[in-house]
Amino acid sequence: MKHILLLTLLLTALQASIGHITSVTGNATLVRSHQDSQISKGLLLLEKDLIKTSAQSKVQAILNDDTVITVGPKTEYLFEAFQDTGEIKVQMQIKRGFFKSVTGKIGKIAPERFKIKTQAASIGIRGTQFMAYVEDDTEIIGCIKGAIIVWTNSGLTFEVPAGKMLVYKGEEWSLKEIDVKIFAPVMLGMHLQQAPRQLLSTPDAQKQTLIDEQILNRRSSRIGTIVGDTLPVPPPPVQEPFDINLNVDNSTQPPPYNP
Protein backbone atom coordinates (compact mmCIF):
# COMPACT_ATOMS: atom_id res chain seq x y z
CA MET A 1 0.00 0.00 0.00
CA LYS A 2 2.88 2.32 0.89
CA HIS A 3 4.52 1.71 -2.49
CA ILE A 4 1.23 2.42 -4.29
CA LEU A 5 0.94 5.76 -2.44
CA LEU A 6 4.50 6.73 -3.34
CA LEU A 7 3.92 5.76 -6.96
CA THR A 8 0.76 7.88 -7.05
CA LEU A 9 2.62 10.86 -5.58
CA LEU A 10 5.46 10.40 -8.05
CA LEU A 11 3.08 10.32 -11.01
CA THR A 12 1.35 13.45 -9.68
CA ALA A 13 4.69 15.24 -9.32
CA LEU A 14 5.63 14.33 -12.88
CA GLN A 15 2.39 15.80 -14.21
CA ALA A 16 2.40 19.46 -15.09
CA SER A 17 1.69 21.25 -11.83
CA ILE A 18 -0.11 24.55 -12.40
CA GLY A 19 0.49 25.95 -8.90
CA HIS A 20 0.12 25.08 -5.24
CA ILE A 21 -1.89 25.83 -2.10
CA THR A 22 -0.38 28.56 0.09
CA SER A 23 -2.97 28.88 2.86
CA VAL A 24 -5.90 26.88 4.26
CA THR A 25 -8.39 27.85 6.96
CA GLY A 26 -11.00 25.32 8.08
CA ASN A 27 -11.98 22.26 6.04
CA ALA A 28 -11.59 22.11 2.27
CA THR A 29 -11.65 19.28 -0.25
CA LEU A 30 -9.85 18.74 -3.53
CA VAL A 31 -11.72 16.75 -6.18
CA ARG A 32 -9.33 15.17 -8.71
CA SER A 33 -10.28 12.41 -11.17
CA HIS A 34 -13.56 11.87 -9.25
CA GLN A 35 -11.67 11.29 -5.98
CA ASP A 36 -11.87 13.55 -2.91
CA SER A 37 -8.95 14.41 -0.63
CA GLN A 38 -8.33 16.90 2.17
CA ILE A 39 -6.55 20.09 1.11
CA SER A 40 -3.40 21.04 3.00
CA LYS A 41 -0.83 23.80 2.63
CA GLY A 42 1.78 22.98 -0.04
CA LEU A 43 -0.53 20.73 -2.08
CA LEU A 44 0.31 20.83 -5.80
CA LEU A 45 -2.52 21.78 -8.16
CA LEU A 46 -3.24 20.20 -11.55
CA GLU A 47 -5.56 21.12 -14.40
CA LYS A 48 -9.17 20.02 -13.79
CA ASP A 49 -8.76 20.22 -10.00
CA LEU A 50 -11.88 21.35 -8.14
CA ILE A 51 -11.66 23.07 -4.75
CA LYS A 52 -14.68 22.75 -2.45
CA THR A 53 -14.78 24.66 0.83
CA SER A 54 -17.10 24.22 3.79
CA ALA A 55 -18.63 26.92 5.98
CA GLN A 56 -16.10 29.30 7.56
CA SER A 57 -13.32 27.87 5.40
CA LYS A 58 -10.93 29.54 2.97
CA VAL A 59 -8.19 28.41 0.60
CA GLN A 60 -5.56 30.44 -1.18
CA ALA A 61 -3.52 29.22 -4.17
CA ILE A 62 -0.77 30.75 -6.29
CA LEU A 63 -0.44 29.65 -9.91
CA ASN A 64 2.82 29.32 -11.78
CA ASP A 65 2.51 32.82 -13.27
CA ASP A 66 2.00 34.33 -9.78
CA THR A 67 -1.78 34.68 -10.14
CA VAL A 68 -3.29 34.43 -6.66
CA ILE A 69 -6.75 32.92 -6.15
CA THR A 70 -8.51 33.19 -2.79
CA VAL A 71 -11.49 30.82 -2.49
CA GLY A 72 -14.08 31.74 0.15
CA PRO A 73 -16.47 29.67 2.28
CA LYS A 74 -19.12 27.37 0.77
CA THR A 75 -17.45 27.66 -2.62
CA GLU A 76 -16.70 25.39 -5.58
CA TYR A 77 -13.85 26.62 -7.79
CA LEU A 78 -12.52 24.76 -10.84
CA PHE A 79 -9.08 25.14 -12.45
CA GLU A 80 -10.04 24.15 -15.98
CA ALA A 81 -6.85 24.90 -17.93
CA PHE A 82 -3.50 26.57 -17.37
CA GLN A 83 -0.61 27.06 -19.79
CA ASP A 84 2.10 29.66 -19.27
CA THR A 85 4.26 28.83 -22.30
CA GLY A 86 3.46 28.65 -26.01
CA GLU A 87 -0.28 29.16 -26.45
CA ILE A 88 -0.70 30.93 -23.10
CA LYS A 89 -4.07 30.59 -21.41
CA VAL A 90 -5.79 30.51 -18.02
CA GLN A 91 -9.35 29.22 -17.76
CA MET A 92 -11.13 28.82 -14.44
CA GLN A 93 -14.71 28.57 -13.24
CA ILE A 94 -16.56 29.48 -10.06
CA LYS A 95 -19.58 27.21 -9.73
CA ARG A 96 -20.85 28.81 -6.54
CA GLY A 97 -19.56 30.90 -3.65
CA PHE A 98 -16.89 33.63 -3.46
CA PHE A 99 -13.41 34.18 -4.88
CA LYS A 100 -10.85 36.98 -5.20
CA SER A 101 -8.12 37.09 -7.86
CA VAL A 102 -4.87 39.02 -8.09
CA THR A 103 -3.67 38.35 -11.63
CA GLY A 104 -0.03 37.53 -12.36
CA LYS A 105 2.22 37.54 -15.42
CA ILE A 106 -0.40 36.26 -17.85
CA GLY A 107 -2.53 39.28 -17.01
CA LYS A 108 0.31 41.46 -18.27
CA ILE A 109 1.45 39.57 -21.38
CA ALA A 110 -1.78 37.92 -22.58
CA PRO A 111 -4.84 39.30 -20.73
CA GLU A 112 -7.13 38.22 -23.57
CA ARG A 113 -6.32 34.60 -22.72
CA PHE A 114 -7.38 34.86 -19.06
CA LYS A 115 -11.02 33.89 -18.41
CA ILE A 116 -13.05 32.98 -15.33
CA LYS A 117 -16.54 31.62 -15.96
CA THR A 118 -19.52 32.09 -13.67
CA GLN A 119 -22.99 30.61 -14.07
CA ALA A 120 -24.25 33.61 -16.06
CA ALA A 121 -21.13 35.18 -17.59
CA SER A 122 -17.40 35.07 -18.36
CA ILE A 123 -14.87 37.49 -16.85
CA GLY A 124 -11.88 38.83 -18.77
CA ILE A 125 -9.14 41.06 -17.43
CA ARG A 126 -6.97 44.08 -18.16
CA GLY A 127 -4.38 43.25 -15.49
CA THR A 128 -6.24 43.66 -12.24
CA GLN A 129 -7.69 42.60 -8.90
CA PHE A 130 -11.30 41.54 -8.77
CA MET A 131 -13.73 39.24 -6.98
CA ALA A 132 -17.11 37.63 -7.46
CA TYR A 133 -19.92 35.96 -5.57
CA VAL A 134 -22.15 33.41 -7.31
CA GLU A 135 -25.32 31.64 -6.27
CA ASP A 136 -28.26 30.24 -8.23
CA ASP A 137 -30.12 33.50 -8.88
CA THR A 138 -27.54 36.15 -7.97
CA GLU A 139 -24.06 37.15 -9.13
CA ILE A 140 -21.95 40.09 -7.94
CA ILE A 141 -18.68 40.81 -9.76
CA GLY A 142 -16.56 43.60 -8.29
CA CYS A 143 -13.36 45.23 -9.57
CA ILE A 144 -10.87 46.46 -6.98
CA LYS A 145 -7.98 47.56 -9.19
CA GLY A 146 -7.53 47.89 -12.96
CA ALA A 147 -10.56 46.89 -15.04
CA ILE A 148 -12.45 43.78 -16.09
CA ILE A 149 -14.74 42.98 -18.98
CA VAL A 150 -17.77 40.75 -18.50
CA TRP A 151 -19.51 38.86 -21.30
CA THR A 152 -22.93 37.65 -20.19
CA ASN A 153 -24.57 34.46 -21.44
CA SER A 154 -27.38 36.62 -22.82
CA GLY A 155 -24.99 38.46 -25.16
CA LEU A 156 -24.37 41.68 -23.21
CA THR A 157 -20.88 43.08 -22.62
CA PHE A 158 -19.88 45.28 -19.67
CA GLU A 159 -16.60 46.97 -18.84
CA VAL A 160 -16.24 47.23 -15.07
CA PRO A 161 -13.61 49.72 -13.83
CA ALA A 162 -12.05 49.81 -10.37
CA GLY A 163 -14.55 50.75 -7.69
CA LYS A 164 -17.56 49.33 -9.56
CA MET A 165 -19.50 46.08 -9.28
CA LEU A 166 -21.78 44.33 -11.75
CA VAL A 167 -24.89 42.79 -10.17
CA TYR A 168 -27.03 40.04 -11.73
CA LYS A 169 -30.45 39.53 -10.17
CA GLY A 170 -33.76 38.46 -11.66
CA GLU A 171 -32.12 37.89 -15.05
CA GLU A 172 -31.12 41.58 -15.17
CA TRP A 173 -27.64 43.18 -14.97
CA SER A 174 -26.81 46.52 -13.36
CA LEU A 175 -23.53 48.42 -12.80
CA LYS A 176 -23.14 50.01 -9.35
CA GLU A 177 -20.58 51.46 -6.94
CA ILE A 178 -18.75 48.65 -5.17
CA ASP A 179 -19.96 48.11 -1.60
CA VAL A 180 -18.05 46.28 1.13
CA LYS A 181 -21.36 45.68 2.93
CA ILE A 182 -22.40 43.43 0.05
CA PHE A 183 -19.24 41.34 -0.02
CA ALA A 184 -18.63 41.09 3.75
CA PRO A 185 -21.31 38.46 4.50
CA VAL A 186 -20.52 36.28 1.50
CA MET A 187 -16.85 36.18 2.52
CA LEU A 188 -18.11 34.55 5.72
CA GLY A 189 -20.19 32.10 3.71
CA MET A 190 -23.55 33.63 4.57
CA HIS A 191 -26.44 33.94 2.16
CA LEU A 192 -27.08 37.62 1.43
CA GLN A 193 -30.61 37.46 2.80
CA GLN A 194 -29.35 35.81 6.01
CA ALA A 195 -26.79 38.50 6.86
CA PRO A 196 -27.81 40.46 9.97
CA ARG A 197 -27.58 44.22 9.71
CA GLN A 198 -25.04 44.47 12.53
CA LEU A 199 -22.63 42.28 10.54
CA LEU A 200 -22.61 44.78 7.72
CA SER A 201 -21.50 47.68 9.91
CA THR A 202 -19.38 46.14 12.68
CA PRO A 203 -15.68 46.98 12.19
CA ASP A 204 -14.54 43.87 14.08
CA ALA A 205 -16.62 41.62 11.84
CA GLN A 206 -15.32 43.31 8.71
CA LYS A 207 -11.74 43.04 10.00
CA GLN A 208 -12.20 39.32 10.62
CA THR A 209 -13.71 38.91 7.17
CA LEU A 210 -11.38 41.06 5.12
CA ILE A 211 -7.89 40.69 6.56
CA ASP A 212 -7.42 37.05 7.58
CA GLU A 213 -5.66 36.05 4.35
CA GLN A 214 -2.16 35.20 3.16
CA ILE A 215 -0.40 35.99 -0.10
CA LEU A 216 3.06 35.14 -1.47
CA ASN A 217 5.42 37.99 -2.23
CA ARG A 218 7.61 35.77 -4.37
CA ARG A 219 7.20 32.48 -6.20
CA SER A 220 8.62 29.45 -4.37
CA SER A 221 9.66 26.11 -5.83
CA ARG A 222 6.67 24.03 -6.84
CA ILE A 223 8.07 20.54 -7.40
CA GLY A 224 10.13 18.79 -4.74
CA THR A 225 11.98 15.55 -5.17
CA ILE A 226 11.12 12.01 -4.22
CA VAL A 227 14.02 10.10 -2.72
CA GLY A 228 13.00 7.07 -0.73
CA ASP A 229 10.07 8.17 1.42
CA THR A 230 10.53 11.92 0.84
CA LEU A 231 7.35 13.43 -0.60
CA PRO A 232 7.17 16.27 -3.16
CA VAL A 233 6.32 19.18 -0.85
CA PRO A 234 7.37 22.74 -1.81
CA PRO A 235 9.52 24.65 0.70
CA PRO A 236 7.72 27.03 3.08
CA PRO A 237 6.70 30.17 1.17
CA VAL A 238 7.40 33.71 2.25
CA GLN A 239 4.06 35.19 3.32
CA GLU A 240 2.75 38.59 4.31
CA PRO A 241 -0.66 39.86 5.48
CA PHE A 242 -3.21 40.14 2.70
CA ASP A 243 -5.60 43.05 3.15
CA ILE A 244 -8.73 42.73 1.02
CA ASN A 245 -10.19 46.08 2.10
CA LEU A 246 -12.20 47.44 -0.80
CA ASN A 247 -11.44 51.11 -0.23
CA VAL A 248 -7.66 50.83 0.10
CA ASP A 249 -6.35 47.49 -1.12
CA ASN A 250 -2.83 47.11 0.26
CA SER A 251 -2.34 43.54 -0.94
CA THR A 252 1.27 42.55 -1.48
CA GLN A 253 1.62 42.15 -5.21
CA PRO A 254 3.42 39.35 -7.04
CA PRO A 255 6.78 40.42 -8.50
CA PRO A 256 6.53 42.48 -11.71
CA TYR A 257 6.96 40.66 -14.99
CA ASN A 258 10.32 41.25 -16.66
CA PRO A 259 10.45 39.65 -20.13
pLDDT averages per 10-residue partition of the chain, 259 residues: 48 72 93 95 96 92 93 95 88 96 88 94 90 93 93 96 94 91 74 52 42 36 33 37 36 37
At residue 182, φ and ψ (nearest 5 deg) are -80, -45
Q: Could you say which DSSP state residue 163 is in? A: T
* CATH level 2 (architecture), domain 2-241: Sandwich (2.60)
Closest Cα to residue 137, out of 115, 93, 95, 170? 170
Calculate ∠ Cα 167-98-93, nearest 5°: 90
- Are 109 and 127 a contacting pair, CB within 8 Å? no
- pTM (two decimals): 0.74
Q: Which of 177, 219, 191, 161 is nearest to 72 (CA)?
A: 191
Return the pLDDT at 183: 81
Angstrom distances, CA of residue 80 to CA of 23, 87, 91, 98: 21, 15, 5, 17
How confident is the model at residue 239, as a pLDDT? 33
If we measure between CA atoms, which residue out of 187, 216, 214, 185 comes closest to residue 202?
185
pLDDT at position 121: 97
Per the CB < 8 A criterion, the answer to whether 25 and 212 are in contact is: yes
Q: Is 236 helix (H, G, I), strand (E, B) or coil?
A: coil
State residue 181's pLDDT score: 76
97: left (phi over 0), alpha (psi -120 to 50) or beta: left
Q: What pLDDT, on a 0 to 100 scale, did the predictor assign at position 4?
A: 47
Inter-residue contact 55 to 189 (CB < 8 Å): yes
Q: How far is CA 170 from CA 133, 138, 167, 216, in A?
A: 15, 8, 10, 38
Asked if residue 166 lies in contact with residue 160, where contact means CB atoms within 8 angstroms, the answer is: yes
